[in-house]
Amino acid sequence: MDSERLFTLYQKEREYQKRVFGNYENIEVLNLSSFLLFHREYLRKAEHAYVQRWNTDLPPWLANCREFEIQGAAPVNVYKEIIKNFTLHGAVLEAFTEINPSMWRFGESINLKWK
């Protein structure tokens, strides 16, 4: 999956979340710690789904995955939770921050990371 399709997936799930929950920035009781709890819950669900029975038939939205190619079955519910969690992380950034992407990792050197 390329980054353009990944971003399209993010936008579609984000729109769904907005319709269900509203704009997070307008919900006064939500804060960063709320999202950390949501993250933990989605991760717990993904971990639980991973050890459950996998699907031998892929849903229309999952065209393929590595597990299906190798084992003929896929952890579909794990991928659902990963998509929700991925989108939740973006929602946190949308709701609580203003980030200048051109400055992200500015001045960091990959070569210095491992020293």
pLDDT at 1: 85
Per-residue pLDDT, averaged over 10-34, amounts to: 88
55 has which bridge partners? 74
Distance CA 57, CA 78 (A): 15
User: Is 107 contained in some domain?
Assistant: no
Count how many domains the chain has: 1
Its pTM stands at 0.82
3-state secondary structure (DSSP) of residue 62: coil
In a domain, 115, yes or no: no
Instruction: Say if 103 falls within a structural domain.
Output: no
Residue 41 within a domain: yes
Q: Residues 36-65: pLDDT tens digits? A: 999 999 999 999 999 999 999 999 999 999
Q: What is the pLDDT of residues 67-103, one digit of tens each?
A: 999 999 999 999 999 999 999 999 999 888 999 998 8
pLDDT given for residue 112 in this prediction: 65
